[in-house]
Structure 1
């Protein structure tokens, strides 16, 4: 049964292909193949198990999707693409009575032959592909002009569809509640494992379909750490620094934002740093609008924080978010990507002082009617009661 894509923005994809004169786009990367097919497959990160979409600019040439045989039936159920083909992988036959190709190359060659792919301009993910897969693909595409469209696919995905926005917003709402539970659990005698477990359980109880990540930094164990994925059973004490960077996942889309705390007390310098980071960050979130570039965002944000903290150490001040944790626009000094409406952005600031990595991050939707600040209700109080 055919259906209309709700995640994949065909209009934006076709506009990119028209602009670059592409006849065909072939994507195998996990995020891009999930985006176009809308099949959130597992295993695509395995080099020997490609999930690959063939998308043609000519509407008379129907798209095709090649998957491992073990996932054929589920792919046929979940993707909007009608032509789904399988190659023998993990299983030689399933409950679906259809021909299985011996390998990916066999399935791909059949599609290219049937669609008359010769003398075309074809976009692929270029250097982002594994070397073995790229060698196979280059051989299959002999006689065609091949162009790397990795960045162009990032731009297609930067602007979110209503369904993508719904999932991202829901993931953020759940993560706000996980932050509240985490904050309430901070007290002397508790462990970083207790805090990690509290956040994880809250996400699932509030409706997350998965816990994407929870990175806790606590006390002398790892207050310096940006991304420590595992708790260490560190026992919290009065005066300890505690930071958490986390994101709940809703149907493949994850939140991502950070809060930092001190238990019971913090020095005046620590309080000042936290105040400056948050003031400048919130000002930057409010200033961003369609039409500015990632580089312009960085320039403004860096200039503002430099009034308070000299030699600020960050080379970027934020990123887009979607199927990937860091998407366009990446807000660094050289990025010329132009922000568009319906992009979801994370702005973040961090600063090291006295062994602690102060870190704060916000998430918001850039819309035609102004920015929708999804994390505004997550408290930024630095000190929690001991």
Structure 2
């Protein structure tokens, strides 16, 4: 699958046989996809630039729709905003049928209803993404296709994306490398008297200069565990935790690194080594065929034997187009969901984020977060630099 916007697929840019199989398992005949990440995936990487930042349109909102019929990818249709006709003229949208005719939610869903009716069939079972379908659009859909049975399709679409293609992995590598490079550049210019807001603003610029869409930055400084950007002033000797998500062509680079205004003392060096040890123990488990829950078990075991176990927090989760997606490894992570992959084998091409944080009562918030790609021989860790204490060049 090529996710570059300048290379357009001439056939479906996803595994239609896999999707058909997943739809069979879920008992679905048709998908009406409305989340931007899943629409982007099914279109091979296309995402309309105009609504990349905001999606409100006066009295409604932007709602891209992709309709897929099981066993008939040639019957697929993409329904977009009227301004997307320009993108269609440039050949940037893969779909057998493109209808860039909608303006708001009701228009878009109305065109989807029209298309499904043309497909025919009685007692259709239609998969929808209820969490990504506005109430007015859902009401219109249910009344317009009142002979259909509607079922949740989130799980089906997530499983389709669980194993990344070579092109997707390239984008994840780029996202990860660029996010860490931006962090390293930011740490170098940190100085006493700057605020956390100043640091975040600098990181934003560094990510944007690396062709990333800045999504967020969680930042802690000094002894505080508060990770919200604020006007808290940095002081000499402060530790700085930066945890940021940078988006590269839709794919998330989500990593965390540590900085310090000065040089770390022996205690800080020991604390970060302990976090690094937990990260490495969890990594060593990763390879195809290993149960997903084994990663969690490995990390939790070493946390349990640590003298700092009361203030340590370890977790792992899948990552890709969404910051928490398949493989689902645990039900006890920060984002609650059923641990579907805990007792299922990892596969080549899955991508996993591993993170360990230590909330020290006197030394502050210390964390590493890494991205791991499952490979045939084990794992690969893009963006794997800057893992120690990064001192500001202004303090050296």
Report if the CA contact (8 A) 1:109-1:140 is conserved: yes
User: What's 2:240 paired with?
Assistant: 242
Query: How much has 1:366 moved relative to structure 2?
Result: 0.7
User: What's 2:353 paired with?
Assistant: 346
Query: How much has 1:281 moved relative to structure 2?
Result: 0.8
Matched, 1:214 2:220: no
- Pair 1:7–1:109, CA change in 2 (3 A): closer
Which runs of 5 or more structure 1 residues have no equivalent in the other structure?
91-100
Report if the CA contact (8 A) 1:2-1:81 is conserved: no
Matched, 1:89 2:89: no
Which runs of 5 or more structure 2 residues have no equivalent in the other structure?
1-6, 332-337
User: What's 1:96 paired with?
Assistant: none
After TM superposition, the structure 1 stretch with the greater mean CA deviation from structure 2, 104-113 or 332-341, is 332-341
Alignment of 1:1-386 (within 5 A): 3-4=9-10, 8-37=14-43, 38-41=45-48, 42=51, 46=56, 48-59=61-72, 62-75=75-88, 77-89=91-103, 103-206=107-210, 208-219=211-222, 223-226=224-227, 228=228, 230=229, 232=231, 234-264=232-262, 269-308=267-306, 309-311=308-310, 314=313, 317-333=315-331, 335-337=339-341, 338=344, 339-354=346-361, 356-381=364-389
Task: Tell me the alpha carbon deviations over residues 50-88 of structure 1, each in whole angstroms, 9 at most, x when there is no partner.
Answer: 211101112275101112223333256322113112445
Structure 1 vs Structure 2 CA RMSD: 3.0
CA distance in 2, matches of 1:205, 1:105: 38
Return the TM-score normalized by structure 2: 0.82
After TM superposition, the structure 1 stretch with the greater mean CA deviation from structure 2, 193-202 or 180-189, is 193-202
CA distance in 2, matches of 1:134, 1:70: 24
Q: How many residue pairs end up in the alignment?
A: 369
Task: Tell me the alpha carbon deviations over residues 4-46 of structure 1, each in whole angstroms, 9 at most, x when there is no partner.
Answer: 4686443432331233342211111121122212331327855
Report if the CA contact (8 A) 1:305-1:312 is conserved: no
Return the TM-score normalized by structure 1: 0.84
CA distance in 2, matches of 1:217, 1:259: 11
- Pair 1:105–1:163, CA change in 2 (3 A): same
CA distance in 2, matches of 1:180, 1:105: 45
After TM superposition, the structure 1 stretch with the greater mean CA deviation from structure 2, 167-176 or 65-74, is 65-74
Query: How much has 1:354 moved relative to structure 2?
Result: 1.9
Query: How much has 1:280 moved relative to structure 2?
Result: 0.9
User: What's 1:97 paired with?
Assistant: none
User: What's 2:3 paired with?
Assistant: none
- Pair 1:292–1:133, CA change in 2 (3 A): farther
CA distance in 1, matches of 2:311, 2:326: 23
After TM superposition, the structure 1 stretch with the greater mean CA deviation from structure 2, 68-77 or 109-118, is 68-77
- Pair 1:312–1:218, CA change in 2 (3 A): closer
Query: How much has 1:257 moved relative to structure 2?
Result: 0.3
Give the secondary-structure state (helix, strand or coil) at the position aligned to 1:62.
Answer: strand
Structure showing greater relative contact order (alpha-carbon pairs closer than 8 Å, 6 or more residues apart): 2
Give the secondary-structure state (helix, strand or coil) at the position aligned to 1:331.
Answer: coil
CA distance in 1, matches of 2:275, 2:198: 28
CA distance in 2, matches of 1:241, 1:10: 49
Task: Tell me the alpha carbon deviations over residues 89-145 of structure 1, each in whole angstroms, 9 at most, x when there is no partner.
Answer: 28xxxxxxxxxx982343122201211143222222235533332222222332233
CA distance in 2, matches of 1:157, 1:45: 24
Query: How much has 1:361 moved relative to structure 2?
Result: 0.4
Report if the CA contact (8 A) 1:219-1:242 is conserved: yes
